[in-house]
Amino acid sequence: GAVVSQHPSWVICKSGTSVKIECRSLDFQATTMFWYRQFPKQSLMLMATSNEGSKATYEQGVEKDKFLINHASLTLSTLTVTSAHPEDSSFYICTTAPGYTDTQYFGPGTRLTVL
Amino acid sequence: GQNIDQPTEMTATEGAIVQINCTYQTSGFNGLFWYQQHAGEAPTFLSYNVLDGLEEKGRFSSFLSRSKGYSYLLLKELQMKDSASYLCAVRDNLGYKLSFGAGTTVTVRA
């Protein structure tokens, strides 16, 4: 299957700081990437759809000014959690696919812990 | 939107068969996926159905009935390493987003 990487794998930060998470598609170009969040023992919840060269589309209830998404190239999307708080501690995962009707593959995830 | 239901937990014995059901109500449909997720890790792709019928892949098979809004994942010859959460996900036909069920935790006992 396709290879998707995320960096960092885990991060611990102080409350009030910002954290940037990168998602890269390594063997194909991705026009669209999706960002999910998963709290412990819960399912994945879609946060936003990242579109190369245009603004991200956020799901209802997700603050676009808090979760900044940039999709500057066909292989890289970044999610920046601004002014992080302990309630933002979660597992953040990106997915992408070569085409809209192809299988979506997950990055390995980034575990964020805000102290 | 999508409403996806699957059982919370299932337990089975090593070597046995387990069937995980998933029902969905959707405003648009463009495929159903099954993923496996071990604790602390990202989900990994298992199967994809877009047409009715059974897709077999080794010890794992997945079935879809679009008219009934129903799918199942069949795990045969269970191994201890199959203990994990299994996620049913439906893709819509607008933004091609995936909506996930809450996941079924399968525990395989010796």
Q: pLDDT at residue B9 above 80?
A: yes
pLDDT tops 80 at residue A93: yes
Closest by alpha carbon to B51, among B22, B30, B76, B82?
B30
Question: Residue A3's closest CA among A80, A108, A88?
Answer: A108
| pLDDT tens digits, A3-54 | 899 999 999 999 999 999 999 999 888 888 999 999 988 889 999 998 888 8
Residue A91, SS3?
strand
Nearest Cα residue in chain A from B102: A43
**Per-residue pLDDT, B87:** 96
Mutate to test the interface with A, among B37, B38, B51, B97 (most CBs of A within 10 A): B97
Of residues B80 and B97, more confidently modeled: B80
pLDDT tens digits along B37-94: 999 899 999 999 999 999 998 999 999 999 999 999 999 999 999 999 999 999 988 7
Tell which residue, A110, A70, A94, A71, has the closest CA to residue A2: A94
Report the residue from B45, B91, B100 with minimal CB separation from A105. B45
Q: How many CA atoms lie within 13 A of A52 on its CB side?
A: 14
Torsion of CA B79, B74, B60, B41, to 10 degrees: -70
Q: Rounded to 5, what percent of chain B is helix, strand, coil?
A: 5, 60, 40
The DSSP-derived string for A61-73 is T--TTTEEEEEEE
